A and B are shown apart, each in its own frame.
Chain A
């Protein structure tokens, strides 16, 4: 996987090589994820390798427990898919945004968002995504996605979002 990520600098060459890589991975390592990847017919209208494909079929975000930066089991599944996809489409650089809910003070939450972004980055790197393709940034509690004042909102805001940053790194 690491080798593929390193050599697929030419976007035109990416698709073919990556399809082979995914097939291999799906069979040997993560069979449960093959369907989730949604490549081919299952991908709906999203073009494989597009940012829409990443957001819709892979899932661009994971969620955290209160005051925690531990990657939960459900988040590990999502990040494994992200790593697979990023290894397949190696021309993308990404920014991992770490966020916190509003139930913390501003400065601590900036640090907590940074810790979540770092944990997410580390997981992706451990799954073969080159570290130099990943930038992290913390938004603390400055950019909630859900706006309300109850638990359902807060849990959606405690998140790390992997944002595709275009080709190159």
Chain B
């Protein structure tokens, strides 16, 4: 707990934001409706932040990359800029930005405080309305400059779309190396844009399916390190590991409850079937949630904690079911051709992402929580394992091409139009998206 508290304080310094003096209009004309899918990304000019060194340009570069990958924005090439911003406190010459069709403009400044901290200020302008939309400043440790850029990108995204951003987040995943029949798997963590790669395990044991706790400080995952595949908890900062429960057989498919108090997972029964249990991490009590003579796995809570979606082959082939969090009233919700698995409840509560196998292909799709409105976002030779961005607008998954050697990470937005490769140093699978940091 001490460690958690310290980390929280350290990160808390980032959250000190102050609205700058200029007026913030209630609502400007410049708004992006992200529910319809943006066919034409909004042209936006992101100027290098005024600074004494390269930091200002680096921060602008990270902001531009975040916004571009969202598919909603088209950052304008700096070479087209007419006005050079030297005083970010003064209003820009809007005509200079309108003429290059920059509908939004970002300006800023980075300085160093007396105590060594970074101070970053930014303003978002609506060039056609001629007014400031956002003005904020942040203080952070210099080492956290990329996080400052992601937080600014989130603020821009939120102001222009009306939705929370997802750029100040991390991904935990499984790094893969070596031949396919002797693959070495290591837990790894990185920023959502692929920066700040770090390994969390040494590769001596197979590790699978890491998932974040709601407080982002720990992950739950499955490892073969004891010889018996079982579910573990790992404190990200300290590296402290702990077995979840003491069960005679395999435990797998773990995921935290939304309050972080429980881990829900599958337990292998002696007869070869698997059922779903929840373990309370404080009391160490275990609650059985299913008892069918079938494979019940991949449980995922609804964000309010009242229901659990899971995969079961109780009807013959794998399909998706929803039950109460106490195991009551399981109902099948997937009815299409083929099989369905890996259901994950959206953090917004409105949709369930899944993997579907049909026609010899693997598909990533979403459906409403009653199974209606199924939409396929992506189809390929082998792809699975969807995970939601915290705003419920983007899904990350992993894909392997036929004969392609190994899996890679991709993200796709809910329109299915904007797919992005996520850079990783080696092959990568089983991504899990963190909640927003704070």
List, in ascending order, chain B residues with CB within 8 A of A112's CB. Answer: 295
* A residues near B253, Cβ cutoff 8 Å: 107, 110
B402 and A149 form a contact (CB under 8 A): yes
Query: Does B24 sit at the interface, judged by CB under 8 A?
Result: no
Neighbouring B residues of A142 by C-beta, 8 Å: 183, 185, 206, 208
Q: Answer whether A115 and B273 are a contact pair too, CB < 8 Å, given A106-B384, A107-B311, A147-B181.
A: yes
A49 interfacial contact with B, CB 8 Å: no
Give the nearest-CB partner of B272 in chain A: A118
Binds B, one of A6-14, A37-45, A97-105: A97-105
Contacts of B266 in A (CB 8 A): 107, 111
In the complex, residue of chain B having the shortest beta-carbon distance to the beta carbon of A102: B382
Question: A137, B250: Cβ atoms under 8 Å?
Answer: yes
CB–CB A67/B317 < 8 A: yes
A128 contacts partner chain B, Cβ-Cβ < 8 Å: no
Cross-chain contact B229 with A107 (CB below 8 angstroms)? no
Kindly report which residue of chain B lies nearest to residue A143, judged by CB atoms. B181
In the bound complex, how far is the Cα of B274 from the Cα of A112, in angstroms? 9
Q: Is B381 an interface residue (CB 8 A)?
A: yes
Hey, which chain B residues are within 8 Å of A118, CB to CB?
Answer: 270-272
| In contact, B229 and A137 (Cβ under 8 angstroms) | yes
Q: Is the C-beta of A162 less than 8 angstroms from some C-beta in chain B?
A: no
Interface residues of A in 102-134 (CB under 8 A from B): 102-108, 110-112, 114-119, 122
Contact (Cβ within 8 A) A149 B381: yes
Cα-based distance from A138 to B268 in the complex (angstroms): 10
Nearest-neighbour CB distance to chain B for A137, whole angstroms, equals 7
Instruction: Tell yes or no: B365 within 8 A of A by CB.
Output: no
Q: Which residues of A contact B222 (CB under 8 A)?
A: 110
Interface check B385, CB cutoff 8 A: yes
Which residues of chain A have C-beta atoms less than 8 A from B182's C-beta? 143
Interface size on B, residues (CB 8 A): 44
Chain B 223-252 residues near chain A, CB threshold 8 A: 227-229, 249-250, 252
A111 touches B268 (CB 8 A): yes
Assess the B229–A138 pair: CB atoms within 8 A.
yes
A145 within 8 A of B: yes
A49 to chain B, nearest CB (A): 26
Bound-complex Cα distance A144 to B249 (A): 22
Please report the C-alpha to C-alpha distance between residue A107 and residue B385 in the assembled complex, in whole angstroms: 10
* A114:B298 contact, CB within 8 angstroms: no
Q: B252: which of A110, A115, A143, A148 is its contact (CB, 8 Å)?
A: A110
Q: Chain B contacts of A122 at CB under 8 A?
A: 272
Whether B183 contacts A107 by the Cβ 8 Å rule is no
Query: Would you call B425 an interface residue if the criterion is a C-beta within 8 Å of the partner chain's C-beta atoms?
Result: no
For B340, the closest partner residue in chain A by CB is A105
Q: Is A91 part of the binding interface, using a Cβ–Cβ cutoff of 8 Å?
A: no
User: B215 to nearest A CB, angstroms?
Assistant: 24
CB of A69 within 8 A of CB of B252, answer: no
**Interface residues as binary, B177-202 with A (CB distance below 8 Å gives 1, 0 otherwise):** 00111110100000000000000000
Which A residues are CB-close (under 8 A) to B430? 106
The answer to whether A114 touches B318, judged by C-beta atoms less than 8 angstroms apart, is no
User: Which residue of chain B lies nearest to A144 when distances are taken between CB atoms in the complex?
Assistant: B181
| Interface residues as binary, B345-375 with A (CB distance below 8 Å gives 1, 0 otherwise) | 0000000000101000000000000000000
How far, in Å, is B187 (CB) from chain A's closest CB?
15
CB distance from B240 to the nearest CB of A (A): 25
A114 touches B317 (CB 8 A): no
Is B127 on the interface with A (CB-CB < 8 A)?
A: no
Interface residues of B in 269-323 (CB under 8 A from A): 270-274, 295, 297-298, 311, 313, 317-318
Asked if A108 and B229 make an inter-chain contact with CB atoms under 8 angstroms apart, the answer reads: no
Contacts of A107 in B (CB 8 A): 209, 252-253, 266, 297-298, 311, 341-342
Does A105 contact B341, Cβ atoms closer than 8 Å? yes
Question: What is the CA–CA distance of A96 and B345 in the complex, to the nearest angstrom?
Answer: 35
Chain B residues with CB under 8 Å of A102's CB are 382
Contacts of A139 in B (CB 8 A): 206
Residues of A within 8 Å of B208, CB to CB, are 106, 110, 140, 142
A69-109 Cβ-contact flags toward B at 8 Å (1 or 0):
10000000000000000000000000000000011111110
CB neighbours (8 Å) of A115 from chain B are 272-274, 295
In the assembled complex, which residues on chain A have CB atoms less than 8 Å from the CB atom of B79? none
Contacts of B116 in A (CB 8 A): none
- Interface contact A144-B311, CB-CB below 8 Å: no
The residue among B209, B249, B297, B381 with the most chain A CB atoms within 10 A of its own CB is B297
B272–A114 CB distance below 8 A: yes
- Whether the pair A106, B209 counts as a contact (CB closer than 8 A) is yes
Across the interface, which residues of B come within 8 angstroms of A145, CB to CB? 181
A113 to chain B, nearest CB (A): 9
Which chain A residues (135-158) contact chain B, with CB distance < 8 Å? 137-140, 142-149
Which A residues lie at the B interface, using CB under 8 A?
67, 69, 102-108, 110-112, 114-119, 122, 137-140, 142-149
22 A-B contact pairs sorted by A residue (CB < 8 Å): A69-B272, A103-B357, A105-B355, A106-B430, A107-B253, A107-B298, A107-B341, A108-B311, A110-B229, A110-B250, A110-B297, A111-B274, A111-B295, A114-B272, A115-B273, A118-B271, A138-B250, A144-B181, A145-B181, A147-B179, A149-B402, A149-B403
Chain B residues within 8 Å of A, Cβ to Cβ = 179-183, 185, 206, 208-209, 222, 227-229, 249-250, 252-253, 266, 268, 270-274, 295, 297-298, 311, 313, 317-318, 339, 341-342, 355, 357, 381-382, 384-385, 402-403, 429-430
Q: Which 7 A-B residue pairings sit nearest by Cβ, starting from the closest? A: A118-B272, A115-B272, A111-B295, A107-B253, A105-B341, A111-B274, A149-B402
